[in-house]
Structure 1
Amino acid sequence: MLLSLAANGMAAVMVATGVADPVRRGEYWLAQLHLEQAWQYSEGAGVVVGVIDTGVNSDHPDLAGAVLPGRAFPDLGSGTHDDWGHGTTVAVLIAGRGHGQSAGTLGVAPKTVILPAKLAGGAQSADDAIHWVVDHGAKVVNLSLGGDARTDSEQAYDDGLRYAAEHDVVVVAAAGNRPHDAAVVSPANRPGVIAVSAVDASGTFRDDISVQGPEVALAAPGADITTLADTPQGRVPRQENGTSFAAAIVSGTVALLRAKYPQLDATAVTRRLTSTARRPAGGGRDSRYGFGVVDPLAALTTDPEPPASPRTGWSPWWPAGGAVVIGGGVLCWWTSSRSRRATRGKR
């Protein structure tokens, strides 16, 4: 199965360069999520995050020393070089360390490390990639990709997701983007996966960017995300939208928790995230925000309520009926600014 990628024709917004670094200036989520205070408790040191995406460029100035040797699935001999820049942007949002004097992106977990798995095939390749990153030490897996509900390859995802759960790995996935998608897509809608929707700088759900649905577990910033992006034209400041980036911010938050609380299993980590999230108006869970906007500082410092019942095997932690059996025959990289739509070829 081969993965073909094509831009969706939507131009990214270039950020004008001013006196202050435009990338650092654009990181509104640093203050929105109280990350500087959160870093007093954890910076994600010692945690490996598997990024299954378009690859990661380890020479990015904001990722110096943050990228482990990776692998492509299937191996086409090109290594994990990121020709599109999507996976690199995701990695920077998770583990960016900035560069120079107050320049570049500071990721949510600036002392964590990225294990890249470049996805060059369909759902089976994604399943192989999940197994590989888990076997190579990832305690968090970020899946900023998704599958079309009209196809039938969900079992390929489920095997890898079950393997991750059996090995105490937290899996975070992008919920899907409007207008390309109408509902939460696979693997975000599969059992045990943290599905993430997108909000803006005010913490408001953006229905022009993000899908909604009963599987959504958390929301995170995914609007007007500015990074130093790798593009075919070079490395430039760029502003983008998409649940890919919201998922990356949640994956970084998971890394903070796994570093501070290594004794907690994946379910307990998820419980901390959902119980401390900033609730949507009216309280409770809804289809747009899930349990609320992720709050790294609260997750690191507030003990959750005891669970109502112990964990029993691999099962959805969202309410019964939330999971929908759909497939992944068509993969796309969830970013409304530059969606990478991928169609499975025949063997």
Structure 2
Amino acid sequence: MLTAVRTLAAALLVFAGPAADPVRDQQQWVLDALNVEQAWTLTKGAGVTVAVVDSAVDREVKELQGRVSAGPDMTSGVANQEVPPGRHGTAMAGLIAGSGEGDGLIGIAPQARILSLPLVVDDEPVNGVPPLEDQQSAAETPLARALRYAANHGAQVVSMSIGSYGPLRSEREAVSYALGKGVVLVAAVGNDGQTNYAKENGTSYWSFPAGYSGVIGVAATDKQGKRAVFSSDNLSVLVSAPGVGVPVVKRKSGYELSEGTSSAAALVSGVVALIKSRYPSLPPEQVAQALAASARGRPAAGYDDQTGYGVVDAAAALNAAERLTSVQRSVVPGKEHFGQGEDSPVPTRPGPDPLRLWLYGGGVLLALVTFCGAIIVLNQRKE
């Protein structure tokens, strides 16, 4: 029986020890892979808040100081409950919005803010979460609460490096609610690429929230831009990003290397923050379109379920977003609902068409004359 337990640390992020070289050198390949430095000439994410639905973020990390707001514990809904900072959530927040303070790690959107929404305590699955069949009837899950809270408290982006194997109604409704508020949702697709199921069936189990419609599902790639062997492959994958050997911040201080679709999703969340900073009115579906249309390393068929439309390119995505915003959707006042041009012909009044009536009558008359003529000829022959 599949369960709806939220997982992250072991399932979606593997830490591989401290980086040997300065962290900026270690992360340069990630910045290059996403073409971030060119995007920074336009924006660094100022004015955008990214909600990190994860374990709690450590606000004392130098790269995040002064830019993290803490929401309530989403597992209990108790507003004043103190939640200890977690390793995973802190690492993801740094990838999104690390300031680079003191030559430290710099995030994709270094001027963005973080809203920490604790969903998992101490980087372990929430204790006491019932199996899937029991949660189906639950009024609201912790993730559903987190999405609604983020949408109602100023978040323009939600980053979710979490996953479970079952869709839930309350979460689907919360996803729709957040999207309706214009919030862009990003999630890791999971690390099930090497499971027995994936090997036997040529596809991985779907992970949620990445599997919900409207959520940008992110797969992981390696330094060569190829799909990481562990990354899940299914149709929830929209785009991909680096997820192997990615430097991240540690709680309190220091750095280590990460591996997983968690890191890839956080990086793409940072790119989305850049887009929303530059084009705040761009709706979620067009943000997703900008990411997909501008991705690098597009598969030969245009799309596949391993890397989606390719690796996200931050600068190209900003250009694509600009093109989307330039599409005019004007509403013309008055009677000019369809713009300028010649009026169409006035429709004819309903009823019989005189010309057709004349043609029909003439045809009938001709037929009668012919018929009568034939009868006269036959009578004359008989005489």
- Asked if Structure 1 and Structure 2 have the same fold, meaning a TM-score greater than 0.5 normalized by the shorter chain, the answer is yes
1:164-216 CA-partner distances (Å, limit 9, x unpaired)? 11101110000001346832301101111100000012211112x21111121
Answer whether contact 1:197 1:216 (CA < 8 A) is retained: yes
Q: % of aligned pairs identical?
A: 34
SS of the residue corresponding to residue 94 of structure 2 reads helix
| 1:217 maps to which of 233, 238, 241 | 238
Instruction: Mark the runs of 5 or more structure 2 residues left unpaired by the alignment.
Output: 121-125, 130-139, 199-203, 330-383
Query: Which amino acid counterpart does residue 211 of structure 1 have in structure 2?
Result: S
Pairwise mapping of residues 1-347 of structure 1 onto structure 2 (< 5 A)? 8=10, 12-18=15-21, 21=22, 23-27=23-27, 28-73=29-74, 74-75=76-77, 78-82=81-85, 84-100=86-102, 103-120=103-120, 121=126, 124-149=141-166, 154-178=168-192, 179=194, 182-207=204-229, 209-230=230-251, 235-302=253-320
Q: 1 or 2 for the larger relative contact order (CA 8 Å, sep ≥6)?
A: 1
SS of the residue corresponding to residue 68 of structure 2 reads coil
Answer whether contact 1:80 1:116 (CA < 8 A) is retained: no
Corresponding position of 2:137: none
SS of the residue corresponding to residue 271 of structure 1 reads helix
Partners of 2:152 and 2:6 in 1: CA distance = 27
Query: Which amino acid counterpart does residue 17 of structure 2 have in structure 1?
Result: M
How many residue pairs are counted as aligned between the two chains?
295
Partners of 2:314 and 2:61 in 1: CA distance = 25
Query: Which amino acid counterpart does residue 295 of structure 2 have in structure 1?
Result: A
Partners of 2:268 and 2:30 in 1: CA distance = 12
Deviates more, 1:114-123 or 1:254-263: 114-123
1:231-269 CA-partner distances (Å, limit 9, x unpaired)? xxx643211101111001111111100111123222221
Partners of 1:7 and 1:262 in 2: CA distance = 32
Corresponding position of 1:319: none
Per-residue deviation at 1:283? Answer: 4.4
1:31-58 CA-partner distances (Å, limit 9, x unpaired)? 2222111100111110111111011111
Answer whether contact 1:13 1:240 (CA < 8 A) is retained: yes
Deviates more, 1:190-199 or 1:273-282: 273-282
SS of the residue corresponding to residue 49 of structure 1 reads strand
Per-residue deviation at 1:80? Answer: 4.0
Corresponding position of 2:132: none
Instruction: Mark the runs of 5 or more structure 1 residues left unpaired by the alignment.
Output: 311-347
SS of the residue corresponding to residue 147 of structure 1 reads coil
Deviates more, 1:114-123 or 1:256-265: 114-123
SS of the residue corresponding to residue 63 of structure 2 reads helix
1:56-110 CA-partner distances (Å, limit 9, x unpaired)? 111111112221232211146543432x31011111000000121xx22110000
Partners of 1:244 and 1:4 in 2: CA distance = 13
Query: Which amino acid counterpart does residue 255 of structure 1 have in structure 2?
Result: A
Q: Larger radius of gyration, structure 1 or 2?
A: 2
SS of the residue corresponding to residue 108 of structure 2 reads coil
Partners of 1:200 and 1:222 in 2: CA distance = 6
Q: Alpha carbons of 1:206 and 1:8: their partners in 2 closer, same or farther (altered >3 Å)?
A: closer
Q: Alpha carbons of 1:80 and 1:49: their partners in 2 closer, same or farther (altered >3 Å)?
A: farther
Partners of 2:42 and 2:53 in 1: CA distance = 27
Deviates more, 1:85-94 or 1:220-229: 220-229
Q: Alpha carbons of 1:4 and 1:35: their partners in 2 closer, same or farther (altered >3 Å)?
A: closer
Query: Which amino acid counterpart does residue 59 of structure 2 have in structure 1?
Result: S
Answer whether contact 2:299 2:309 (CA < 8 A) is retained: no
Answer whether contact 1:271 1:304 (CA < 8 A) is retained: no
More helix by share: 2
Q: Alpha carbons of 1:16 and 1:282: their partners in 2 closer, same or farther (altered >3 Å)?
A: closer
Per-residue deviation at 1:305? Answer: 7.3
Partners of 1:169 and 1:11 in 2: CA distance = 29
Answer whether contact 2:225 2:297 (CA < 8 A) is retained: no
Query: Which amino acid counterpart does residue 113 of structure 1 have in structure 2?
Result: R
Corresponding position of 1:317: none
Corresponding position of 2:359: none
Answer whether contact 1:104 1:227 (CA < 8 A) is retained: no
Query: Which amino acid counterpart does residue 161 of structure 2 have in structure 1?
Result: S
Query: Which amino acid counterpart does residue 14 of structure 1 have in structure 2?
Result: G
Query: Which amino acid counterpart does residue 238 of structure 2 have in structure 1?
Result: A
Query: Which amino acid counterpart does residue 189 of structure 1 have in structure 2?
Result: G
Partners of 1:169 and 1:283 in 2: CA distance = 30
Per-residue deviation at 1:228? Answer: 2.5
SS of the residue corresponding to residue 151 of structure 2 reads helix
Q: Alpha carbons of 1:118 and 1:11: their partners in 2 closer, same or farther (altered >3 Å)?
A: closer
Query: Which amino acid counterpart does residue 115 of structure 1 have in structure 2?
Result: L
SS of the residue corresponding to residue 267 of structure 1 reads helix
Corresponding position of 1:343: none
Q: Alpha carbons of 1:288 and 1:4: their partners in 2 closer, same or farther (altered >3 Å)?
A: closer
Per-residue deviation at 1:14? Answer: 1.7
Per-residue deviation at 1:290? Answer: 0.8
SS of the residue corresponding to residue 240 of structure 1 reads strand
